[in-house]
Amino acid sequence: MKVYNWGIIGAGWIAGQFAKDLKLLPNAFLKAVASRSSERAKTFAGEFEIPVSYGSWEEMSADPEIDIVYIASHHPFHFENTLSCLEAGKAVLCEKPFTMNKEELDKLVEVARRNKVFLMEAIWTRFLPSTRKVIEIVNSGELGKMQNIYADFGFLLEYDPKHRLYDLEKGGGVLLDVGIYPVFISQLLAGPPVKIHTTARFAESGTDHSCNIIFEQKENIVSSLNCSLLSHSPVEATILFENGYIRMESMFLTPGPITIHRKDKDPQLFEFPEKGGGHHHEATEVMRCLDGGLTESPLLPLDFSLGIMESLDRIREICGITYGN
């Protein structure tokens, strides 16, 4: 068994969740963390028993012993962090949203493919057992034709211009950070939109704090997708078919149960107990691909991430969501 040396760029909240889950994997060794602050890197390294800490992001890509870098900085920095790692020949798992726009992602994909280096977006939901089960049921065709997808992700976040979700410089706004999950599940199950209808509302700081989206997709499937910082919502995904529906229970993007409701039958619940928080599944996929000499995951290929970014760009254009780029 090959053991891979991992590094983390960005010592924030999600980096901690990921570090905890990585420890569950016998073929992963978390060797280094890089932060813009050497003090924050040291504290993080101490908390998660990481032997090396760097006080700048650049030092991570220069470390020859690191095989895979997990990028957990705020999204305006994903492009530069990922680029420097790819150029240094490191495999990269980059948090969602991959980049701020499709133009940035086009460039990263071009570099990864040209240099034959592994690159994947850290949409952990794709690799959860619940999502895999949903795909299995959809592909079986047992529920008949798919008609609609409803998915939402909302929570009340009181207005605070210093909070990253209300701060444009930190990539604030609900669409890219939160709305990406409903968009993701819709495109995973029904493909990219042919037509988009959407509207957004804005906070004082200029960030979008709610966005409602309708996708018209192939085979006449229509998705209704909502994200909001203004109200709590069920955070469920429901996939409707001629002969029943599948509900990915709250919170649909995290490890959790799904229920199949077949017409005239009792609902069937599937549960998927987890050892950790669920982030190890995506890390497992990265190492499975590297073991097999792959530079993209067949389960979450770069073209799929490009499709997501294209939709986010189009929604932004229609709603007037800008970041000065």
Q: Distance between CA 325 and CA 322 in Å, rounded? A: 7
Q: Taking Cα atoms as reference points, which of 191, 175, 196, 171 lies closest to residue 318?
A: 196
Give CA angle at 38 (35, 39), nearest 5°. 110
Strands (E), the chain: 4-9, 28-34, 52-54, 68-71, 91-95, 119-122, 146-154, 195-202, 208-216, 222-228, 237-241, 244-248, 258-262, 268-270
Residues 6 or more apart from 158 whose CB is under 8 A from it? none
Q: How far is the CB of 227 from ligand NAP (least distance, A)?
A: 13
Q: Examine residue 163 and tell whether it contacts ligand NAP (CB under 6 A).
A: no
Cis bond before residue 251 (omega within 30° of 0): yes
Question: Which residue's CB is nearer to ligand NAP, number 82 or number 198?
Answer: 82
Q: Of 53, 61, 83, 95, which one interacts with ligand NAP (CB under 6 A)?
A: 95
Minimum CB–partner distance for residue 85 and ligand NAP (Å): 14
What minimum distance in Å lies between the beta carbon of 277 and ligand NAP? 9
Selected from 19, 25, 30, 72, the binder of ligand NAP by CB under 6 A is 72
Q: Per-residue x/- mask for ligand NAP, residues 176 to 195, rule CB under 6 A?
A: -x------------------
Q: Measured between alpha carbons, how far is 173 from 79 in angstroms, rounded to an integer?
A: 18
Angle at 299 between CA 294 and CA 302, to 5 degrees: 70
For residues 116 and 162, which CB has a smaller minimum distance to ligand NAP in the complex?
Answer: 162
Region near ligand NAP per CB under 6 A, out of 72-80, 109-117, 238-246, 301-309 = 72-80
Q: Tell me the number of residues near ligand NAP by CB under 6 A.
A: 20
35 counts as binding ligand NAP under rule CB under 6 A: yes
With CB under 6 A as the contact rule, the residue among 42, 107, 113, 164 that binds ligand NAP is 164
| Position 74 contacts ligand NAP (CB under 6 A) | yes
- Please state whether beta strands 91-95 and 68-71 pair in parallel, antiparallel, or not at all (unpaired): parallel
Phi and psi, residue 168, nearest 5°: -60, -35
Q: Which two tokens stand for residue 288?
A: 């499975």
The CB-nearest residue to ligand NAP is 12
Q: Binding ligand NAP by CB under 6 A: which of 4, 5, 11, 118?
A: 11
Of 117 and 251, nearer to ligand NAP (C-beta) is: 251
Q: Which residues bind ligand NAP (CB under 6 A)?
A: 10-15, 35-37, 40, 72-75, 95-96, 122, 124, 164, 177
